[in-house]
């Protein structure tokens, strides 16, 4: 039975962007039944993509790995609440990842505020503690390039930013990207073209 489930899951995930709704319905059913084969196949197919997607939003490889892992943990914990209504499993999974990325960014912002308060308090007769030590010289160029890209990405619209992250960081196809953001394939290509043009302007 396990071998049959694995074969079914692998067949469904060979092309996650398939247009036939029956494939996603069957995959959702296998996941809700806690099919180990289905969950293993989903993990094998999507973990690296989720990692790259998170890395596009976060500056840390460790944080990106944490997001990818937490996405599957939360997906497993909330699968009973997922009901297939034409929205692909892939879109549901990336929705979870997007929420975890937002939570991570909020936590980092809060930690920065706490760090600034700590520095201010320590200045009263004590050596200030820098919560953000200076980056080593050999990383300065990479850091500057990363900051430039982050600044340029922030100037994109939310839809353009998601398309860039999904297409170029996660490596999803235009069809898969469209399923996740709820747009047709033609709209994805249009958003992609506008996003790349905007990035070229901001990075020059």
Q: Which pLDDT score, from 0 to 100, does residue 194 have?
A: 94
* Topology of the domain covering 1-133: Rna Polymerase Sigma Factor; Chain: A (1.10.1740)
Q: Give backbone dihedrals phi and psi of 144, rounded to 5 degrees, phi first.
A: -65, -45
Contact 64, 58 (CB under 8 A): yes
* pLDDT tens series, the chain, 204 aa: 655 556 655 655 554 444 344 588 899 999 999 999 999 999 999 999 999 999 998 878 999 999 999 999 999 999 999 988 888 899 999 999 999 999 998 888 776 665 544 444 455 444 444 444 544 444 445 445 566 677 788 889 999 999 999 999 999 999 999 999 999 999 999 999 999 999 888 777
182: closest CA among 80, 104, 102, 98?
Answer: 98
C-alpha separations of 5 from 22, 28, 29, 53, 134 in Å: 16, 12, 11, 28, 51
Range(s) for CATH 1.10.10.10 in the chain?
Answer: 136-204
Q: Report the C-alpha gap between 164 and 171 in whole angstroms.
A: 9
Q: Which pLDDT score, from 0 to 100, does residue 8 have?
A: 58
Burial class of residue 144 (count of CB atoms within 10 Å of its CB; 0-12, 13-18, 19+): exposed
* Topology of the domain covering 136-204: Arc Repressor Mutant, subunit A (1.10.10)
Residue 86's H or E segment, with its range, is: none
Range(s) for CATH 1.10.1740.10 in the chain?
Answer: 1-133
Q: Which pLDDT score, from 0 to 100, does residue 202 have?
A: 79
Q: Which pLDDT score, from 0 to 100, does residue 189 have?
A: 96
Q: Report the C-alpha gap between 64 and 170 in whole angstroms.
A: 12
Q: How many CA atoms are closer than 13 Å to the CA of 170, on its beta-carbon side?
A: 27
Residues 6+ apart with CB under 8 A from 129: 118, 119, 122
Q: Report the C-alpha gap between 82 and 89 in whole angstroms.
A: 9
Q: Which pLDDT score, from 0 to 100, does residue 138 have?
A: 44
Q: Report the C-alpha gap between 71 and 57 in whole angstroms.
A: 15
Looking at the whole model, is its pTM more than 0.95?
A: no
């Amino acid at each position: 039975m396990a071998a049959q489930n694995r074969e079914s899951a692998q067949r469904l995930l060979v092309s996650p962007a398939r247009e036939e709704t029956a494939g996603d319905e069957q995959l959702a059913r296998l996941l809700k039944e806690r099919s180990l084969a289905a969950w293993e196949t989903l993990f094998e197919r999507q973990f690296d993509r989720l990692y790259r997607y998170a890395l596009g939003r976060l500056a840390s490889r460790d944080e990106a790995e944490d997001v990818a892992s937490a996405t599957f943990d939360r997906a497993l914990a909330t699968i009973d609440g997922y009901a297939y209504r034409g929205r692909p499993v892939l879109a549901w999974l990336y929705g979870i990842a997007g929420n975890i990325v937002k939570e991570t960014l909020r936590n980092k912002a809060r930690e920065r505020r706490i760090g600034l308060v700590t520095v201010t308090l320590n200045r009263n007769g004590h050596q200030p503690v820098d919560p953000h030590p200076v980056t080593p010289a050999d990383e300065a160029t990479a850091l500057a390039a990363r900051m430039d890209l982050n600044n340029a990405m922030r100037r994109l619209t939310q839809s353009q930013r998601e398309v860039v992250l999904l297409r170029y960081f996660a490596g999803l196809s235009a069809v898969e990207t469209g399923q996740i953001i709820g747009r047709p394939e033609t709209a994805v290509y249009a958003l992609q073209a506008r996003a790349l043009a905007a990035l070229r302007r901001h990075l020059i």
